[in-house]
Structure 1
Amino acid sequence: MKELEAATHLSSSSQGIQSLETAFSILNCFKEAKTPLSVSELSKRMEMPKNKIHKYLVSFIRVGALIQNKKDSTYAMGPALIELGLVALQQFDVAKIAKPHIREFSKQINHSVALAIWSEGGPIIAEYERSNKPIQVEIQAGYRFPLLMTALGKCFAAFLPSSQVQSLIQREIDNYQLDEQVVEQELQAIREEGVSFRNTLFAGIPGSMSVASPIFDYTGKMVAALCLIGFTGEIDTSPSSLNVLKLKEKANQITNQLS
C-alpha cells in the first residue's frame, strides 16, 4: 500500500507529459462508449478540435492501438490494446494485491485471516495469515474445502454464477443430506447481507467459527473471499458486530483496488 500511495503522490505532484495524458483520455472515450466512434463524436466528447483529434488517431493506428472502419469513418480499439490488456490481467493477481491487506487486517484485529480463490475443482486457500494468539488455527495454502459447510464456501456458492457452482452445490446437498430449500434460503440471505458464517464444528475443517465476505473484480464478478477464522467465543458473527463490519470493509477495499 505504501508503494501505491507513493506512486499516487508522485503522479499528482510531478510534472508529466500532457500529450500522453490527452492520448489516454481519448482511449478512455472508447472504453466508456463501448462502440466505434467518429472524429466528430470524439471531438465533442473531448471538447477538442477535429484536426487535433485526427493527429492522435493517426498515431494510434500506426501503433495498432486503434483500427479504422473506412466505410463509415469510425474508429475502434485495436489489437495492441487487447495484447496490453491481456498482459495486465496476467499481472493483476488478486492474491498478490490482497496479501498486504490480509497481513495488515490480521494484525489489526488479532485474528487468523484467509483469502480463498476459485479453482477448477472448487474454492481453495490462496493466502493465510495467522494471529498472534497462543492457540492457532492452522491452514495451508492450497487447502480445498466444501462449499456448503464453510463460510468461505458459502460465499462462492452465493455469489458465483449458478452454472459454475450448481453441480457442486447439488453434490454436497446429497452427500451431507441437506435440505435444499434451507440451503437456498441461506444463500439468498448471504447475497443480501454480503457476508456468510459458520458457527459449528465440521470434520476436517480448522476452527469452529468463521465469517467470510466476497471480493469482486472490475467486471463485478466474484474472484475471491476474505475470511476470519477462529474458535467459539473468539469472533462475534452477528451481522452488526465490529468483526463483521471490519471484514466487509476490508473486502470492499480490495474490491475497489481491483476495480
Structure 2
Amino acid sequence: MIKNEKSTNVIQSLQVGLNIIDIVATKNRPLKFTEIQELTGITKSNLYKYLNTLTMLDVLYRDKKDGTYSLGGKFIEYCAAALGDRNVIGKITPYLREISASTSQTALLAVWTHGGPVIVDIYSANYGLNIGAQVGTRLPLLSATGKVFAAFKDERDPQVKEWKQSELRKLTDERRKQLEEEIEGIRQRFFSYALEPLVKHVSSFSVPVLDFQRDLVAAVTVVGFTERIPKTADEQAGKYIMDCVAEISKSFGFLAD
C-alpha cells in the first residue's frame, strides 16, 4: 500500500509514481493492472493515468498481448547510467543478439549492483519460454550468473561479501561446501552451469566478461530448456558461447594467459 503522507516539502504525485515503479521493479515478474492496483490502493482512474504516463515515457513497458507491466527501456537506461555501465551494454548488445540467434536460446546480460547481479538486457529466440526472470531481476547465487559473480567479483568489496554471505546462509553446510568447490572450478574453467535454478526444465550456462585488470565487467548467460543448454565448454554450443564472450572481454582489454 502506498503511503499517503502529505508534506509541503514533497511532490506527492512524483512520490506515487516512483512507488509504482518500485513495486513493478521488486516483484521480479510482469504485473497486471489489477495487481498493481491491489498493491498500491490507487483508484482505477488515477492508476490508469499514472501507468499511461510512465509507459509513454518508456519507464514502464506494457505488453500488448497480456496487458502486463514491466520495467521499460528508459528505466534500464537510467540504471545503466547510474552504474556507469552504459558503454558495457552498448558493446555487448550485438553479441547477445548473435548468441541468441545462433543458439536459438535466450541470451542475457547481467551487471553488479549493491544487491547482487541484475539483468540489464535480454534477447530471446523463444518468446514462449519462461526463464523465471526479466530485465531488472536480481539473480540468486545458485543461478549460473550468480555463481560467476561469486567466483570473479572481488570479495574485498563489502557489498560483494555481504551479498555472498547472505546467500550462503540460505544453504545447508553440505551445499555450501559443494558450492565453494564449484566456484573454485568456475575460476579455472571461466564458465558456470546451473541445472534448473529458477524454473523447472530451464537451465543456464554463464561466462564472465573480464577487463584488462581481470576484473569482472558483466556476465553473459544463455538460458533455455535443459536438454538444449551445454553443460561444458567442450560441447559445440558451449565452445561457441565461450569464443563470443572471449571476443567481448578482448574489447575491454582482457588478455588470456
The answer (yes or no) to whether the contact 1:111–1:228 under 8 Å persists in 2 is yes
Residue 156 of structure 2 aligns to a residue whose secondary structure is helix
- 1:174 to 2:169 alignment: yes
* TM-score (normalizing by structure 2): 0.60
Residue 227 of structure 2 aligns to a residue whose secondary structure is coil
- 1:251 to 2:245 alignment: yes
Deviation at 1:243, TM superposition (A): 1.6
The answer (yes or no) to whether the contact 2:211–2:249 under 8 Å persists in 1 is yes
- 1:154 to 2:150 alignment: no
167 and 138 in structure 1: CA distance in 2 versus 1, 3 angstrom threshold: closer
90 and 156 in structure 1: CA distance in 2 versus 1, 3 angstrom threshold: closer
- 1:70-110 residue CA offsets vs partner (Å, 9 max, x unmatched): xxxxxxxxxxxxxxxxxxx9686111110011111211121
- 1:192 to 2:185 alignment: no
142 and 195 in structure 1: CA distance in 2 versus 1, 3 angstrom threshold: same
Aligned residues: 168
Give the counterpart of 1:233 among 227, 230, 241.
227
Q: Distance in 2 between matches of 1:91 and 1:232?
A: 30
Per the alignment, residue 112 of structure 1 pairs with 106
The answer (yes or no) to whether the contact 1:116–1:127 under 8 Å persists in 2 is yes
| Unmatched 5+ stretches in structure 2 | 1-82
In terms of Rg, which structure is larger? 1
Per the alignment, residue 14 of structure 1 pairs with none
Deviation at 1:207, TM superposition (A): 6.0
92 and 191 in structure 1: CA distance in 2 versus 1, 3 angstrom threshold: same
Q: Distance in 2 between matches of 1:131 and 1:91?
A: 25
136 and 95 in structure 1: CA distance in 2 versus 1, 3 angstrom threshold: same
| Unmatched 5+ stretches in structure 1 | 1-88
* TM-score (normalizing by structure 1): 0.59
Percent of matched pairs sharing the same residue: 27
The answer (yes or no) to whether the contact 2:145–2:219 under 8 Å persists in 1 is yes
The answer (yes or no) to whether the contact 1:197–1:237 under 8 Å persists in 2 is yes
- 1:172-212 residue CA offsets vs partner (Å, 9 max, x unmatched): 2211325332221111000011100101344xx58621010
Residue 249 of structure 1 aligns to a residue whose secondary structure is helix
Q: Say which structure is richer in helix.
A: 1
173 and 90 in structure 1: CA distance in 2 versus 1, 3 angstrom threshold: closer
* Matched residue type, 2:245: A
201 and 187 in structure 1: CA distance in 2 versus 1, 3 angstrom threshold: closer
Residue 226 of structure 2 aligns to a residue whose secondary structure is coil
- 1:5-47 residue CA offsets vs partner (Å, 9 max, x unmatched): xxxxxxxxxxxxxxxxxxxxxxxxxxxxxxxxxxxxxxxxxxx
Per the alignment, residue 115 of structure 2 pairs with 121
